[in-house]
Structure 1
């Protein structure tokens, strides 16, 4: 996202192309769209010169998948369904009342499948010498997700957001929950109204935690003057900062 023009480029559910951030930037620079998804996003990225199609599996990821299959495809992100065998196909449970109230209660009490060991989000905000801000977020997504799932990574306002007039925000955690609140948009708008970054980040996280007490996530916020802070829930979070006047990166630890 370009904080000067508010332009956004995103790719979602993109396979066979390794560099999601470069692909997203190509969408922003060379199309009038905001997001491309699926195999057509891959085709666009390759047509614009990115390497591919490539097999992005690693020995580690294949071993992880094999163990998951041996464990009868658990954990997974399904609810209110039953499998024909341990790994599906899945069908609706006939003994569950699928009204809105039931679903909301299940969402609140279900423990998250997102933890410190099964996601890999990187979110970054950069200021240039003129004070213009750019943000970007890249992720492989949650492990064992349902095919076709898109998390909060490519959603402007959820995983990251920037406005030169105010500042920027980046986020990580349970993207399926976080994208329902657009926490980074909330942070930037709170700073616009005068909140300092620390309070704005804490407020955005608290809004989510009140509805989903088993949620895991974190936010960093930075205003246009470079004042920064973080907030988290369900884990201890770290973010790093580097400015031209610093000799090395400073790592900031944020506690729940």
Structure 2
């Protein structure tokens, strides 16, 4: 396979009209960063990490810098990345001092633990020469204005490289005002993400507790084997509807085709690939009609 494809999301949520362009541009920038990796023959895991780092560094999104605050007024972040080649996963949860949690998650992929939380995750990051920061540095000056809009916000990416390998990733600051120590779906394979070279990959955003209860990523992956991508994503969201949850899903299959579905008002997304001249950004799946499968 000599082609590549990548899709990113900045969260399933209600986006103020004044912020539509900023969400589109933030997602396009992330897609462009991941595309550079893939264009030069890099692996899908590296592309997912590169794209999510851009999203984590953009305060418009609830991940990394600009994450929402918990009930104690502190930032606690979760992230995960999954390699579809061998189903390996790296994830961190409840971290406060890691500037880019997705970097620490990727560093865990060759290690024995799949998921590390809190101080243990931060200690591991330090051992891997991943710089730690003062937790106060993760609080964006403008975070109060966007706190409500980030209520169910997670960022994510799915990519397929020129070798046909697939990876998926997620990163989030969780729910605003959440109980300290709360962990959502984002770092949990089968819930917030999944990747398998033989099938495809998915990354979710939405009501974390509801996604965990319904294991949406697992439902989507099963459905992906039987039909079009958007239909597979809708199958997953049907499970979310069952428990009154809101969310969105981005997908890539083993042929490099895209899928997007959401039951939220908006879903910030961007796609790019070897068949496209540039990344296409959107705040609703309808803006990508003609570029999606099904």
TM-score (norm 1): 0.73
Q: Which residue of 2 aligns with 1:200?
A: 232
Change (3 A) 1:15 1:196: same
Cα distance in 1 for residues equivalent to 2:112 and 2:93: 16
Q: Which residue of 1 aligns with 2:196?
A: 163
Cα distance in 1 for residues equivalent to 2:236 and 2:275: 30
The offset of 1:8, in angstroms, is 0.4
Cα distance in 2 for residues equivalent to 1:26 and 1:234: 33
1:177 aligns with 2:258: no
What secondary structure is seen at the aligned counterpart in 2 of 1:242? strand
Cα distance in 2 for residues equivalent to 1:155 and 1:184: 10
Change (3 A) 1:42 1:164: same
Cα distance in 2 for residues equivalent to 1:59 and 1:200: 36
Of 29, 33, 36, the residue aligned with 2:113 is 33
Change (3 A) 1:246 1:199: same
Correspondences of 1:147-162 after superposition (within 5 Å): 147-162=180-195
Higher RCO structure (Cα 8 Å, ≥6 apart): 2
Say which structure is richer in helix: 2
Correspondences of 1:1-256 after superposition (within 5 Å): 1-29=82-110, 31-55=111-135, 56-58=137-139, 60=141, 64=144, 116-192=149-225, 194-212=226-244, 215-252=245-282, 253-254=284-285
Paired residues, what number? 202
The offset of 1:124, in angstroms, is 0.4
Unmatched tracts of structure 2, length 5 or more:
1-81, 287-294
Preserved CA contact (<8 Å) 1:123 1:159? no
Query: 236-245 or 6-15: which moved more?
Result: 236-245
Q: CA RMSD in A?
A: 2.0
Cα distance in 1 for residues equivalent to 2:255 and 2:178: 39
Larger radius of gyration: 1
The offset of 1:228, in angstroms, is 1.5
Change (3 A) 1:59 1:246: closer
What secondary structure is seen at the aligned counterpart in 2 of 1:9? strand
Unmatched tracts of structure 1, length 5 or more:
68-113
What secondary structure is seen at the aligned counterpart in 2 of 1:13? strand
